[in-house]
């Protein structure tokens, strides 16, 4: 990644941080903050962890772990709803 690209991604992360603070104080709810957090995580994974230039196995493991995390959150949420 070029230094200019790192700076642009850093500015994007700061903008998403400002969006998180704005969503918190505006009362949009936790779902808006979760979407913003997912966007920040995607930027970090794609650019700083260099998944865009990694091989296919690395991408498969990264996205598989995210899918497994989503399954665990979904199961936890369904358990929370039934109580």
Predicted TM-score (pTM) of this structure: 0.74
30, 67: one domain: no
75, 44: one domain: no
Supply the Cα-derived Rg of the chain in whole angstroms: 16
pLDDT digits (tens, 9 = 90+) for 19-77: 999 999 998 888 899 899 999 999 998 888 888 888 989 989 988 998 999 999 999 99
What is the total count of domains within the chain? 2
60, 44: one domain: no
59, 29: one domain: no
3, 22: one domain: yes
30, 65: one domain: no
18, 46: one domain: yes
41, 6: one domain: yes
- Structural domain boundaries, residue 44: 1-52
């Amino acid at each position: 990644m070029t230094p200019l690209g790192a700076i642009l991604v850093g500015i994007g992360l700061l903008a998403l941080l400002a969006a998180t603070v704005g969503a918190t104080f505006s009362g949009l709810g936790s779902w808006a903050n979760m979407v913003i957090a997912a966007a920040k995580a995607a930027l970090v994974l794609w650019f700083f962890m260099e998944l865009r230039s990694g091989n296919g196995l690395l991408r498969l493991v990264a996205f598989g772990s995210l899918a497994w995390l989503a399954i665990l959150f979904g199961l936890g949420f369904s358990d929370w709803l039934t109580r």
